[in-house]
Amino acid sequence: MGTMKFALRMLKADFQKNLFYGGSLVFSTAVVFVFFNMTANPNYSGMTDMSRTSFSMVLALVVVVIAMVLAFFANSYYLNSKTKELAIETISGGSVLTLANFLLTQNMVIMLFAIPFGLGLGYLVIPLINMILYPQMGVTAPVWQVYGSGLGYTIVSLVTEMVWLVVIDTGYAYRTEVKDLLEAEHTLQNKEKAAIRIPSVVFLAIYLLPVVLFLVLEVNSDLYLASAFIGLFGISGMLKKVLPGLIMRLEKRYLNHKHRLPALGNLHHLIKQLTILMMTIIFSVTLLVCFMSSYINDFRQLVIIVMSYVVLTILIAVSIVYKVLIEAAKRKKSFLHMKMLGYVTADLKKIIAEELIGLFSIIIILPMIYVGLIFARFCMAGLMDGRFAISISAFYTGVILLSGVLSYFLYVHLVLKGGSR
């Protein structure tokens, strides 16, 4: 059987996982298309062409980066589900080119369906958004209109994303060995290089410095954004050193606890794997909150910023779910071994729940400390409606909590399916 024919047959045989991957690409394509069409829509901007373009490009860059991160995690989960099929090809004498051909064939077929569906979905969503917002802005314009520059940005983003995924798939085929495919445990370990050791208290101080600055500086979004940028260095240290150190101390404290010890160990590893993504979350959310504060009296620009916030929050939440699933897939054997040691399903579910509660608490609390203080200062100065600030904060918290619940059920299904004890 030829490689392409085998790839197409397995694509149909593993329809559910491929549909999950394709659905993520559909969603990613739709939100990028809708967002870029809005940024290109002159009805949503009251600025000059040059300033509007510069502002839109900043938001566009952030959205594209997050959308590509989502595609990367979705593709990683997809690759992890293909290990046995790739192992069959390798054992049958397949070369690197054979594996690459297998992956590219399946990926291209999925993209061939996902991208048009995503564009179509985006095209249907655009008039719904316009019908809601145009009356509030007093605008009379065609709600179905698609702008050339928005479509151009979308096409460039999608082409870049497709090329990136092709490179990732080819690299995966090149560097993966048969034993890794059979074990399905291949993972990139982040080895920490020896460097100057900075005490944990320094990272904590840098993280808390913006909190002090938010309280003492005048109410100014630019100053707050600069302060938050300084805090990023502290957040990096919090995620890489402070929190892992705290977890290690808790592990010693709960050394004989059958639920908490494995949950803390899994959380420790998960934080390391999610460090870059969590830093992206915190910076993106803080950046957009500062933009909201700057343009709170410019309704048209505020609409674009809030839409960017909504898109980024949803994309980030989906990316987190995928990353959790990628790590969960590597723990199937660990949970199987725990069952052999006498753990019942209820015990394992409790371990998973405690791990995810810890993770999503960190994802919510770290950025909300900054966001809450920024909003509080603007509200106290009479520059922002408290209801608006609460709704923006509640949206982020709600979406992340929803992604946490979804992660739990998918995690449990992935590692415990087939078990009845």
Q: Measure CA of the first residue to CA of the last residue in the chain; give whole Å.
A: 41
Q: For the chain, how many helices (H) and strands (E)?
A: 16, 0
Do 79 and 66 meet the contact criterion of CB atoms below 8 Å apart?
no
Q: Distance between CA atoms of 43 and 58, rounded to whole angstroms?
A: 19
Res 336: pLDDT? 87
Do 366 and 282 meet the contact criterion of CB atoms below 8 Å apart?
yes
Q: Which residues of the chain have pLDDT under 70?
A: 1-2, 13-14, 16-17, 45-58, 60-61, 64, 81, 83-84, 86, 88-96, 172-196, 418-421
Determine the 3-state secondary structure of 185 from DSSP.
Answer: coil
Do 356 and 408 meet the contact criterion of CB atoms below 8 Å apart?
yes
SS3 helix, strand, coil % of the chain, rounded to 5? 85, 0, 15
Do 327 and 269 meet the contact criterion of CB atoms below 8 Å apart?
yes
Res 190: pLDDT? 45
Res 396: pLDDT? 94
Res 352: pLDDT? 94
| Signed CA dihedral, 272, 276, 279, 284: sign only | negative
Q: Distance between CA atoms of 220 and 234, rounded to whole angstroms?
A: 22
Res 187: pLDDT? 44
Name, in order, each residue with C-beta under 8 angstroms of 182's C-beta and a sequence gap of 6 or more: 83, 84, 87
Q: Distance between CA atoms of 8 and 105, rounded to whole angstroms?
A: 8
Show the tokens assigned to 71. Answer: 């595609």
